[in-house]
Structure 1
Amino acid sequence: MIYLDVNVLFVCSRNKWRSRTAEDLFKDSNVHNVRSAGTAPVARIKISEKLLSWAEIIFVMEKRHREQLKSRFPLILDEKEVIVLDIPDEYGYMDDELVELLKASVSRYLEL
């Protein structure tokens, strides 16, 4: 399913490399509103109820991120589409391979 004109949230652990890369990669979209956050206490931007409520579709980098969100915010997550991208924490910010992985993974769901 391709989502159009939606609020998109990318989530990883620290919001320094993967989800931040995704936000910066897709933030200039004329079709979607894009933000990012992290699940860890040391995250650059910490995940919050407000961010999750804002999001219409949530992309997490790993299954453990989805489980953390479901555990911490069960009522909000019941109504949200959460997609696991299966992108491991082995890339730096804007790494070429990470950019290609994100584009390939997200293009199944969003018009880029």
Structure 2
Amino acid sequence: MNILFICSRNQWRSPTAEKIFQGHQHHQFRSAGTSESARIKISSKLLEWSDLILVMEKKHKQQLISKYGPVAREKQIEVLDIPDDYVFMDEELIEMLHTSVTPYLEEQC
């Protein structure tokens, strides 16, 4: 399964998630951001690649649906509710990601 992590600028939260889950036996991971200044910007190609989209905040889900309409609506998009309060590989962020993401990985195996 292809899982896409989304945050705003693709600098802290979504790249951390991508890094800590890389190498999972059953899933492939990528990350992107919704902002014009994102390191890797969300695109139709990334949305089409993904089977599951995990966004950090509700606003990210709304932005995807607003900008990509039908492509986004046909995808499973889940909100993790992780605020933009962390830096890359922050220990508390890693713990929150493990707690929030692991149930999705287990149900998709």
User: TM-score per shorter chain, which class?
Assistant: over 0.9
1:17 aligns with 12
Cα RMSD, aligned residues only: 1.1
Pairwise mapping of residues 46-65 of structure 1 onto structure 2 (< 5 A)?
46-65=41-60
Counterparts of 2:103 and 2:22, CA distance in 1: 17
Of the three residues 97, 102, 110, the one matched with 2:105 is: 110
Residue identity (%): 55
Once the two structures are superposed, residues 9-54 of structure 1 have per-residue CA deviations (whole angstroms, 9 ceiling, x without a partner) of 0000000000000000111112101000000001000000000000
- Residue 29, structure 1, aligned to residue 24, structure 2: yes
**Where does the alignment leave 5 or more consecutive residues of structure 1 unmatched?**
1-5
Report runs of 4+ in structure 1 exceeding 4 Å deviation: none
Of the three residues 63, 71, 78, the one matched with 2:73 is: 78
Higher helix share: 2
Once the two structures are superposed, residues 64-88 of structure 1 have per-residue CA deviations (whole angstroms, 9 ceiling, x without a partner) of 0000000000111121000000000
Of the three residues 62, 70, 85, the one matched with 1:67 is: 62
| Number of equivalent positions | 107
Counterparts of 2:38 and 2:73, CA distance in 1: 24
Counterparts of 1:98 and 1:86, CA distance in 2: 12
Counterparts of 1:30 and 1:106, CA distance in 2: 15
- Residue 96, structure 1, aligned to residue 91, structure 2: yes
Counterparts of 1:50 and 1:76, CA distance in 2: 10
The AA in structure 2 aligned to 1:77 is A
